[in-house]
């Protein structure tokens, strides 16, 4: 069974996680719209820096084991250029929430479910208002010319 673990932001933590035999690693602490880690705890690492550090750890792990472990960078992406930077920094995939939550077709109707503040009446946590900006097609492919 494939196991993806995380989230981590440092070379050493990522390398140790990979040495346990995981299938993939999530990278990022604090950059997402629904995350309050930086605000509450005062810790976090810029997302591209964390992705580059973890990609360097992956290179080391691949040299020592011969095994490639995918990196999924998680959070803080707002624009297409952000996604490109993450991929250029070494990510194999990018997790996005708020961007897609803004689509008119999104089931949250302009809200994103946060994980950081539990709420007794909600299934996961407090809802974060992200608004509704346009259709999913426009988010993915841009406005029609």
Q: What is the CATH number of the domain that holds 86?
A: 3.20.20.60
Assess contact for 108 and 136: CB atoms under 8 A. no
Residue 11 DSSP SS3? helix
Same-domain check for residues 127 and 85: no
| pLDDT score of 77 | 80
Q: Which two tokens stand for residue 7?
A: 């989230």
130 vs 89: CA distance, rounded Å: 27
Same-domain check for residues 82 and 23: yes
Same-domain check for residues 22 and 2: yes
Range of 115's domain?
98-145
How confident is the model over 51-99, as pLDDT tens digits? 999 999 999 999 999 999 999 998 778 788 889 999 999 999 999 888 8
Cβ burial of 75 (10 Å; 0-12, 13-18, 19+) is: buried
How confident is the model over 7-45, as pLDDT tens digits? 899 999 999 999 999 999 999 875 555 555 555 556 667
User: What is the chain's alpha carbon radius of gyration, rounded to the nearest angstrom?
Assistant: 17
Would you say residue 144 has pLDDT above 60? Answer: yes
Of residues 20 and 127, more confidently modeled: 20
pTM (two decimals): 0.79
Q: Which two tokens stand for residue 5?
A: 């673990």
Cα 80 → chain centroid: 14
Same-domain check for residues 27 and 50: yes
């Amino acid at each position: 069974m494939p196991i993806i673990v995380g989230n981590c932001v440092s070379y050493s933590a990522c390398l140790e996680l990979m040495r346990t035999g995981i299938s993939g690693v999530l990278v990022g602490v604090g950059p997402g719209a629904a995350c309050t880690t930086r605000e509450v705890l005062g810790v976090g690492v810029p997302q591209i820096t964390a992705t580059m550090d973890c990609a360097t750890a992956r290179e080391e792990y691949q040299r020592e084991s011969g095994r490639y472990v995918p990196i999924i960078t998680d959070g803080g992406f707002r624009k297409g250029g952000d996604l490109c930077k993450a991929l250029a920094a070494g990510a194999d995939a990018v997790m996005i929430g708020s961007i897609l939550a803004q689509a008119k077709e999104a089931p949250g109707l302009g809200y994103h479910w946060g994980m950081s503040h539990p709420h007794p009446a909600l299934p996961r946590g407090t809802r974060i208002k992200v608004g509704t900006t346009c259709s999913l097609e426009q988010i993915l492919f841009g406005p029609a010319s």
